[in-house]
Chain A
Amino acid sequence: AQSVTQLDSQVPVFEEAPVELRCNYSSSVSVYLFWYVQYPNQGLQLLLKYLSGSTLVKGINGFEAEFNKSQTSFHLRKPSVHISDTAEYFCAVTSNDYKLSFGAGTTVTVRA
């Protein structure tokens, strides 16, 4: 079984500043890793995914994440945030059983 720990429950950030959301996972097998975003009263939108290959993956809306196997981490970054990036962000992991395991989420609040 896999599990995910999101190290920050809330991240306040000023507009146009960089942001990093931290995610660690545990698994005894090879994994696939994902970041999803959830806007208020909506479902989950896939931001980016790591399946294999390059450890730096780029997603939508200027987000990117780096897979670090030795540290079992998959941190999400954006160099310059906008007010519209205010949302809940979830890190998720799965393997060959295809059951996504999610972290508890990180609330990002962008202030002007």
Chain B
Amino acid sequence: DAGVTQSPTHLIKTRGQQVTLRCSPKSGHDTVSWYQQALGQGPQFIFQYYEEEERQRGNFPDRFSGHQFPNYSSELNVNALWLGDSALYLCASSFRSRAYEQYFGPGTRLTVT
């Protein structure tokens, strides 16, 4: 049973560029959440997708956007990258009926220079 997978593993971008991160949920899961984990801190909730729509959003600017596809996979897009966007981006999946119980992928390490 495949767990949550994310790609790429690492990414280096320049300030002002745009980036897309990808996530495939655990088999059977239909809900995907994204979190940002800055170095030395706990993860911060970005947003959650279910039925291809954004259902919940954390305190992140509109530069952060996402998408969920019919097969439940998801993308996180960040425009106009800042140095402060450097972080580990974690994807978590769950059943909608148990959306509080989230299983995390290995993350994508984004470095903005």
Contacts and interface: CB of A to CB of B under 8 A. Distances in A.
Given A44-B104, A100-B33, A105 B99 contact: no
A44 B44 CA distance: 13
Contacts of A99: 33, 45, 48, 56, 58
Contacts of B103: 46
B108 to A, nearest CB: 10
A45 B4 CA distance: 11
Chain B, interface residues (CB within 8 Å), range: 20 to 34
A43 B105 contact: yes
A109 interface: no
Interface of A: 4, 32, 34, 36, 42-46, 49, 51, 90, 92, 94-95, 97-105
Interface of B: 4, 6, 31, 33, 35, 40-45, 48, 56, 58, 90, 92, 94, 99-107
